[in-house]
Amino acid sequence: MIRFYHNPRCSKSREALHLLEQSGEELEVIDYLKTPPDAEELERILSLLAIEPRDLMRRKEEEYAALHLDDVTLERRHLIAAMVQHPRLIERPIAVTDSAAVIGRPPENVLLLRQNK
């Protein structure tokens, strides 16, 4: 099963969802703005992606500047907490299985999960 963190207003997210639906994969679609991942799930996603929290953040969002998230002294837990509190900061879409995760930019990236089964 693929857990798909989706923003229905985002064209890239809609494209990636369409690709997954066409692939026949079993999907759990989560509107992450309404139901954001908790800190534990974000840690798991970051680990699967092998990236740091800022690499999963949309740096052009208002919240990024308003919360001074570019401050290099902020700890990992602070950045993750900011994403939990302000899910607009989370890059989208994200597709996750038990053993792998990808950011769907470009949307075709989500098809890489089928290779990691």
- Rounded distance, CA 13 to CA 103, Å? 10
pLDDT value at residue 25: 86
Among the listed residues 2, 3, 10, 32, the single catalytic one is: 10
Residue 10 sits in a domain whose CATH number is 3.40.30.10
When mean pLDDT is compared across 25-34, 74-83, 107-116, the lowest value belongs to 107-116
Number of domains in the chain: 1
Active site residue 10: yes
- Rounded distance, CA 98 to CA 81, Å? 23
- Rounded distance, CA 20 to CA 114, Å? 10
> Residue 116: pLDDT above 90?
no
Range of the domain at 59: 2-115
pLDDT value at residue 93: 97
pLDDT, tens digit (0-9, with 9 covering 90-100), for 38-61: 999 999 999 999 999 999 999 999
Count CB atoms within 10 A of the CB of residue 85. 11
